[in-house]
């Protein structure tokens, strides 16, 4: 299906081929050329693997390097491949010549950018915009010993394992980190391991996050119920109260179906500096560490993992606004440099 020409003029043509997995509506997207959005919001029509839609941009690309960006707006997922909305860039052609590397699979809301040169010359991959106030760093482990690492994510290639993302505040443009920031209109944003059923995600073990935050409230690091059902066994590793004090919260589903919770302070921690927060989830006990030092422990309301009759958990970070609307205003963020999961032995 031809989606048309996006209100551009010039002797050169850039043709984008796109397709989708549609579920409860078509995948919607915008297109930007050299940082400027062209046209409005487009809707994909063709099924991925069967056909492609085309969108044509005209311009004068006779000199220098240029960049086209496709932004997927309305990701949706309900636990199976048949209930998943995705957008795919199947190819890009400049004046009839295919651009090498001109494909992308947008499996969550976000952007893919492509550089191209004059008169059909393929450019290098688009370089991400760098946030000068945030620097990528390397960190040594700061968690208790005696564990065997199962996986480690350093975000050198975008969101990595934290590919289930939502909201306009997700920034994976800097290699070695992901940042979730609040927005002026207080929209929720986040990124996590995709919850795809109670046996997905991970079970008992040590969940470690190396991060820093800014702003008094709203930012969080957590492990979320793998069933994606709430109320449930949500373990909030880090939250910030209105006075800038860090704390953890354990949620569970009450006998009447209501959300029940208890919170634990993390002491005198400057959350604007980089620290490693690690939650050890074992049968019958939760223990929290900050930079390898125990902050709290409890044996009350400790959930079971899937292997022991409960459900697993999915780590993630984000900025939440529904309970503090108006208190953020765009100045809050959380930057995650490193995440890992380890088990005893």
What is the per-residue pLDDT across 131-162, written as a single tens digit (0 to 9) for each?
Answer: 222 233 333 334 456 788 899 999 998 999 99
| Pick from 225, 217, 152, 161: nearest CA to 191 | 161
Instruction: Give the contacts of 23 (CB within 8 A, at least 6 positions apart).
Output: 76, 78, 82, 83, 84, 85
Min mean pLDDT across 31-45, 95-109, 163-177, 230-244 is at 95-109
As a whole number of angstroms, the distance between CA 289 and CA 263 comes to: 15
Residue 125, in any domain of the structure: no
* Segments forming the whole domain that contains residue 19: 2-120
pLDDT in tens, 55-102: 888 887 766 778 888 888 888 877 677 888 889 999 998 888 888 778
Q: For residue 264, is it within any domain?
A: yes
The pLDDT value given to residue 30: 87
Q: What is the DSSP letter of 78?
A: -
Number of domains in the chain: 2
Q: Is 7 buried (19+), middle (13-18) or exposed (0-12) by CB count in 10 A?
A: exposed
**168 and 45 in one domain?**
no
Please tell me whether residues 198 and 251 are part of one structural domain: yes
* CATH number of the domain enclosing 269: 2.60.120.200
* Within a domain: 139: no
Q: Are residues 214 and 169 in the same domain?
A: yes
Q: Are residues 106 and 60 in the same domain?
A: yes
Q: What was the pLDDT predicted at 122?
A: 40
- Are residues 246 and 180 both part of a single domain? yes
Residues 171, 319, single domain; the answer is yes
Domain stop point among 79, 105, 120: 120
Mean pLDDT over 156-171 rounds to 93
130 domain-assigned: no
Lowest mean pLDDT among 266-270, 276-280, 313-317: 266-270
Pairing relationship of beta strands 84-94 and 104-106 according to DSSP bridges? antiparallel
pLDDT, mean over the chain: 82
Does residue 161 share a domain with residue 107? no
């Amino acid at each position: 299906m031809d989606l048309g020409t996006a209100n551009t003029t010039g002797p050169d043509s850039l043709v984008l081929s796109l397709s989708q997995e549609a579920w409860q509506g078509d995948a919607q997207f915008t297109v930007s050329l050299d940082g400027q959005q062209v046209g409005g919001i487009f809707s994909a029509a063709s099924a991925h693997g069967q056909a492609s839609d085309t969108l044509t941009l005209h311009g004068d690309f006779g000199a220098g390097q240029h960049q086209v960006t496709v932004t997927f707006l309305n990701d949706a997922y309900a636990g199976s491949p048949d209930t998943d909305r995705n957008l795919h860039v199947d190819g890009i052609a400049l004046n009839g010549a295919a651009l090498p590397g001109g494909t992308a699979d947008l499996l969550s809301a976000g952007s893919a950018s492509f550089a191209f040169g004059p008169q059909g010359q393929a450019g290098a991959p688009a370089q991400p915009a760098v946030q000068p106030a945030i620097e990528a760093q390397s960190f040594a482990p700061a968690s208790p010993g005696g564990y065997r690492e199962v996986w480690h994510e350093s975000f050198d290639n975008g969101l990595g394992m934290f590919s289930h993302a939502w909201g306009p505040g997700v920034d994976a443009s800097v290699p070695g980190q992901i940042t979730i920031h609040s927005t002026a209109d207080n929209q929720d944003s986040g990124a996590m391991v995709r919850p795809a059923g109670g046996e997905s995600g991970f079970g008992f073990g040590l969940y470690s996050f190396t991060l820093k935050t800014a702003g008094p409230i709203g930012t969080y690091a957590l492990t979320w119920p793998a069933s994606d059902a709430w109320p449930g066994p949500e373990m909030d590793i880090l939250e910030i109260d209105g006075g800038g004090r860090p704390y953890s919260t354990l949620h569970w589903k009450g006998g009447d179906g209501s959300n029940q919770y208890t919170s634990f302070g993390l002491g005198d921690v400057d959350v604007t500096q980089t620290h490693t927060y690690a939650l050890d989830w074992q049968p019958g006990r939760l223990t929290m560490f900050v930079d390898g030092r125990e902050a709290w422990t409890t044996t009350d309301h400790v959930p079971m993992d899937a292997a022991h009759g409960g459900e697993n958990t999915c780590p993630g970070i984000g900025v939440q606004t529904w309970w503090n609307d108006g208190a953020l205003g765009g100045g809050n963020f959380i930057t995650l440099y490193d995440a890992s999961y380890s088990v005893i032995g």
